[in-house]
Amino acid sequence: MKAMTGMSLAKNLWEANAASAERILAHGFVSGLGDGSLPVDCFKGYVAQDAYFLEAFARAYAFCLAHSTTRADLNDFADLIAGVRAELELHKAYAERWQVDLTAVRPVAATTAYVDFLLGIARRGDLGATIAAMTPCMRLYAFLGRSLAARGAASLYAEWVTTYADPGFEALAARLEALLDRHATDSATVRANYARALELEYGFFDANF
């Protein structure tokens, strides 16, 4: 159902957690991506951890696909998985450029906490609850990419910024938000999952800084 304000549930949840998103945008890791001041070793560590996380993110989508019941859902989740594969290809390119071994990544505590959170929810088969836990990642990265791109500063990490500022990524985020509106209700569980995901996003960036 729609949130009581009349706006979509996805938009309502994003606005309700705007302070968390702004806190992440202001984090030194993220601002360092924008202006190029982030140490390369920090970025290399992030690439390895994020590749590990993205594989789990794809598996969470796969749980959603397995529990979906309509052709539209099947198409949506399949395309979202393809989007994760494209991100993983980008990480592979980073890894080759900066000699990062992605074959034996050992997740740090923040990565493990995020992965366990997502997959723990996804395995229960509740589409609305799972999508509520996954949507913040997509919407946040689109927000970070657009916000950093708007500052107009080219940096060593310009490719990262342009990837997430791209309209194609925005379209994937909007597609997941549409699935959230389709499958989730405005419940305490959905709101808690959304807020928790943003807390874990902050912890993920902080752990790699």
Mean pLDDT computed over 6-21: 95
Percent of the chain with pLDDT strictly greater than 90: 93
| Higher per-residue pLDDT: 94 or 180 | 180
CA dihedral (108, 195, 118, 51) positive or negative: negative
pLDDT in tens, 1-11: 444 456 899 99
Please state the φ and ψ torsions of residue 85, each to the nearest 5 degrees: -60, -40
Instruction: Name residues whose C-beta falls within 8 Å of residue 71's C-beta, 6 or more positions apart in sequence.
Output: none
Burial class (CB within 10 angstroms; exposed 0-12, middle 13-18, buried 19+) of 129: buried
Rounded distance, CA 177 to CA 132, Å?
9
Percent of the chain with pLDDT strictly greater than 70: 97
Q: How many helices (H) and strands (E) does the chain have?
A: 10, 0
Give the pLDDT confidence score for residue 4 in this predicted structure: 46
**Of the candidates 16, 52, 17, which has an alpha carbon nearest to the alpha carbon of residue 207?**
52
pLDDT at 86 over 70: yes
pLDDT in tens, 115-159: 999 999 999 999 999 999 999 999 999 999 999 999 986 789 999
| Cβ atoms within 10 Å of 164's Cβ, excluding its own | 22
pLDDT in tens, 26-66: 999 999 999 999 999 999 999 999 999 999 999 999 999 99
Residue 157 corresponds to which tokens in the numbers above?
A: 């990490």
3-class DSSP state for residue 24? Answer: helix
Give the pLDDT confidence score for residue 6 in this predicted structure: 66
